[in-house]
Structure 1
Amino acid sequence: MRKVLVVLLVLVVIGVVAADRIGVRIAEDRIAQEVAAQTDLTQPPDVTIHGIPFLTQVIGGEYGHIEMAIGDWTEQGVTVTDVRIDMREVSAPLSEVAGGNTANVTAGTATVSAVVPYPLIKKHAPKEVKRIAPKGDNLAVEMEGAILGFPVSGSGVVAVKPAAQGIAVSPVSVGSDGGPQIPLAVLKRQLTWVVPVPALPLGAKITQIRPTAEGLRVGATAENVKLNDIQQVQR
C-alpha cells in the first residue's frame, strides 16, 4: 500500500510540474503574440518567464523576472540587432490577462539593450577611418588619408559615450606611421562623429555602452513601464 501511495504521489507531482510548465509556455507564447500584434516586428519575440512554480505567480499576478528577445529593431531607418528587454517586478493581474488585456501589465524596472553593429558605426565615421574594432572600453581605429593637408596613416583609440542623438565617438590617442604628429585638439575637431540611434524599445535613450565583438552593446533602464509602451516608438 505504501508503494502505491508513493507512486500516486510521484504521479501527482509530475502532473503538477507538467501543468506548471505547460502553463508557462502558453503564457510566454501569449505575451509574444500580443507584442508582435502591437508592433511592426517581423516575427514574435522569444519570451522567457523565470521562476518556479509559475502557477503561483499567475494566481498572485506578480512575476519576478520576464525576459524578451526581440532580435532586430528598426527606427527611422536605423537598425540595431540582438534587442533584449529584461523586466523585473512585473505586475499582470490574472483577471485582465485572462481576458486578453495587456494594457495594465507593468514592470517595476525594464532594462533594454541592443547591439549597434560596427558597419553602422563606420558608416557615419569620417572617411579617414578605415577599420573599427573593440579595445577594452574604447574602440581601436585604423586610419588612412589626410587631415588639414597632413597625411594620416596609422592607428588610434576613440572613446564612446551616450549622446542625445545616439553615440558620440571622439579620439583619445592617434599614432602615425612616420608622418607628422597632429595635435589632439585638431584631431578631435576632424575625427569626432555621432552614430544616430533614435530610440530603443520603450522609448529608452542610451545610458550605457560596452564594446563587444559584434558591435557596441548599448542599454538603458526605465522604471514603472507598461508592456504596451513597446509600441510607442514604432512608427
Structure 2
Amino acid sequence: MAEVYGSAKPRKRWGRRLLITFLVLLILLAVALVVADRVAASYAERVIGDRVSDQLANQKATAEKPDVTVEGVPFLTQVASGDYQEIKILLNNFTAPTGTADQKIKMPTLDIRAKDVDAPIDTLRNGNGDIKAGTVTGTGTIAYADLATLIGQKGLTVGEKDGKLVGTAPVEALGQTFNVTGTANLEVTDGVVKVRFADVTADGLPNIPLVRNLIDNYVQQLSYDLAVPALPLNLKVQKVEPRADGLVVTTGANNVSLSSGGL
C-alpha cells in the first residue's frame, strides 16, 4: 500500500504544476493582447490626430496637438473590421478666424465625438484612402468676455441669467450715464448665430420719446451676427445655449471625412 500512495503524490504535484503553467501562459497571453491592443489604438489615434491637424492648418485655425482617443474594447477587433464605435477628439485652446476683420473665435476646448467611423486598416497603414465618420458632434464654449469683444460695443458686458443671455452697457442721455440691460434672442441660421437684444430697461431713465429713440438706436448697434468660422470635420453650428461659464456652441455633421482631403 505504501508504494501506491508514494506513486500518487508525484502525479498530483505534476498535475498542479501543469495547471499553474497553463494559467501563467493564459495570463501572459492576455497581457500580450492588451499591450498589442493599446499599441494598435495608439497608432490609429496618432494617424487621425495628424489628419485633423492638417485640416486645422488648411482652415487657418490653431489648437494644441489633437488629443485623440479611440473608444471601445477590444480595439483589435475594430481594427480587423475597420469599423470603430467612437473616436473622441479634444482640441484645446482652439482659435479660428471669423472672416470679419481680424476677429477670432476662441474656445478653451472643442470636444469632438465621431461615431460609426470607417477606417480600413490599409488606410491607417499607408495613409492612402479615406477615413469616414457616420456622425460627428462638437461642443465648445465661448467666454462671455470674448463674446462682448466680438460684439464690439464699448462698456458692454454679457452673461447668463435664468438661462438667457443678458447684456448690460452704459448709455449717455440727458447729460447723464445710465446702465441699460436687455435680454438677447439667439437664433442660428446657416451657421450664423444672430444676437438680437430686446426688452431693454434702465433704472432712472425717463420714458420719453427722445430717450426711447436713443435707446432703440443703441439696441440696434448691439445686434450682432456671429459668423462661426469653418470648423474642422465640416462641423456646422446647430444651436447655442447660454450657461454660467459661457455661450455653449453645439455643432454637428453627417458622413464626414476625417482625412485632410475631405474638406
TM-score when normalising by structure 2: 0.75
Classify the secondary structure of the residue corresponding to 1:104. Answer: coil
- Which letter maps to 1:207? Q
Secondary structure of the corresponding residue to residue 178 of structure 1: coil
Shift of 1:171: 2.1
Contact 2:130/2:257 (<8 A) preserved: yes
Aligned to 2:95: 73
User: Are residue 118 (structure 1) and residue 144 (structure 2) matched?
Assistant: yes
1:10-21 residue pairs with structure 2 within 5 A? 10-21=27-38
CA displacement at 1:216 relative to structure 2: 1.5
Matches of 1:219 and 1:21, distance apart in 2: 31
- For residues 16-31 of structure 1, what are the structure 2 equivalents within 5 Å? 16-31=33-48
Within the candidate set 107, 110, 118, 1:83 is matched to 110
Gaps of 5+ in 2: 1-17
Rg larger for: 2
| Counterparts of residues 1-235 of structure 1 (less than 5 Å) | 1-40=18-57, 41=62, 43-71=64-92, 72-75=94-97, 76=99, 77=102, 78-81=104-107, 82-101=109-128, 103-125=129-151, 127=153, 130-146=156-172, 152-164=178-190, 166-181=192-207, 182=212, 186=216, 189-228=220-259, 232=263
| 2-structure distance, mates of 1:147, 1:56 | 70
Q: CA deviation at 1:222?
A: 1.0
* Letter of the 1:61 counterpart: G
CA distance in structure 1 between the aligned counterparts of 2:261 and 2:247, rounded to whole angstroms: 22
Deviation of the 1:110 alpha carbon: 0.9
Contact 1:202 1:230 (C-alpha < 8 Å) held by counterparts: no
Q: Equivalents in 1 of 2:174, 2:220: separation in Å?
A: 11
* Cα separation, partners in 2 of 1:230 and 1:175, compared to 1, 3 Å: farther
Give 1:42 deviation, angstroms: 5.5
Give, as a single letter, the amino acid of the residue that structure 2 aligns with 1:173. Answer: D
Matched residues in 2 for 1:149 and 1:193: separation? 28
What is the Cα deviation at residue 229 of structure 1?
Answer: 5.6
Percentage identity across aligned positions? 29
Alpha-carbon RMSD: 2.9
Instruction: Tell me which amino acid in the other structure corresponds to 2:33.
Output: V
Larger proportion of helix: 2
**CA deviation string 1:57-114 (max 9, x = no partner):** 000000010011122131344232122321110001112221122x411011111333
Q: Secondary structure at the match of 2:72?
A: coil
Query: Does the 8 Å CA contact 1:39/1:230 hold for their aligned counterparts?
Result: no
1:202–1:190 Cα change, 3 Å = same
Deviations 1:132-190 (A, max 9, x none): 1122432122221147999642433222222446321122433321213448x937535
- Partner Cα separation in structure 1 for residue 163 and residue 181 of structure 2: 16
Aligned residues: 230
2:37 maps to amino acid: D
Q: Helix, strand or coil for the counterpart of 1:207?
A: strand
